[in-house]
Each structure stands twice: as structure tokens, then as C-alpha cells.
């Protein structure tokens, strides 16, 4: 693994900026709700968003392993996947250039972070498998 300053400083900075922009938008236009959207003929985007959130929440619901690092990574992967799914919906249907650019960034960054978490989980599993079993 390369020891680069880029991931250490740029990703948190970009994430913080994206988070601030998203928070400002949500405060003005609250759209994230855990209630189903009202049924209507033109709610295909709302239905897609609700499906993405339902999938994300379902996939995040897992028992704790007792290891905070493993639990964090295992639960954040579906959370990030949900963000990617919603960002793709924005790119398909959204018109606002600022939000479309934000969605593009979310897709790139969240997929990179999913990859990091998957590698960590794989590495942790390999370490666990290489450890001798504790006699009981």
C-alpha cells in the first residue's frame, strides 16, 4: 500500500465539503424520510429512492460481532451502497447541476470507500483464519 498524503487529507476534506453542501440542501429541502412517499402516478423517482433506502436499511440490520471495526465496516458498506444507488437515481432524473456534480462525487468516493472497507474485512478475516484457535 502506498503511503500517500492524498487519501489522508483530500478525501476527508472533499467528504466534509460534500457533507456541508448536502446538509445545507437538506435543511432547505428535506427529502430523506423513513416514511413511504405518497402514492401517485409520477413518483417513480420517489419509489426508486424509497427502494434504495429500504434495501440499505435491510442490509445494515445485522447482529453485532462484538468487534467495533468489523461492525463499522460491515454496516457502512450497505450504507455507502445506498448512497451510490440514490446518487445514480439523481444522475438519471435530476436536473440541478450542483446536485448532479455532488452525485457524481458521491459515486466515486463511496465506491472507493466500499473497496477500502471490503479489503479491511477481507484482511481481518484472513488474520482471524490465520490465528490458532483458542483451546476451551
Q: Cell 450542483 appears where?
A: 98
Asked whether 85 and 103 are in contact (CB, 8 A), the reply is no
pLDDT tens-place string over residues 54-105: 999 999 998 999 999 999 999 999 999 999 999 999 999 999 999 999 999 9
pLDDT tens-place string over residues 38-50: 444 446 999 999 9
Long-range contacts (CB closer than 8 Å, 24 or more residues apart) made by 10-14: 11/109, 11/112, 11/113, 14/105, 14/109
Amino acid at each position: 500500500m502506498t503511503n500517500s498524503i492524498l487519501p489522508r487529507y483530500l478525501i476527508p476534506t472533499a467528504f466534509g465539503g460534500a457533507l456541508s453542501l448536502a446538509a445545507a440542501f437538506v435543511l432547505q429541502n428535506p427529502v430523506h424520510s423513513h416514511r413511504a412517499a405518497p402514492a401517485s402516478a409520477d413518483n417513480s423517482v420517489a419509489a426508486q429512492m424509497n427502494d434504495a433506502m429500504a434495501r440499505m436499511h435491510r442490509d445494515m440490520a445485522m447482529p453485532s460481532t462484538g468487534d467495533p471495526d468489523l461492525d463499522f465496516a460491515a454496516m457502512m458498506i450497505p450504507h455507502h451502497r445506498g448512497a451510490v444507488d440514490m446518487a445514480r437515481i439523481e444522475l438519471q432524473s435530476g436536473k440541478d447541476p450542483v446536485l448532479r456534480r455532488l452525485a457524481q462525487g458521491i459515486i466515486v468516493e463511496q465506491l472507493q470507500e466500499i473497496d477500502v472497507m471490503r479489503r479491511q474485512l477481507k484482511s481481518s478475516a484472513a488474520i482471524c483464519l490465520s490465528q490458532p484457535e483458542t483451546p476451551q
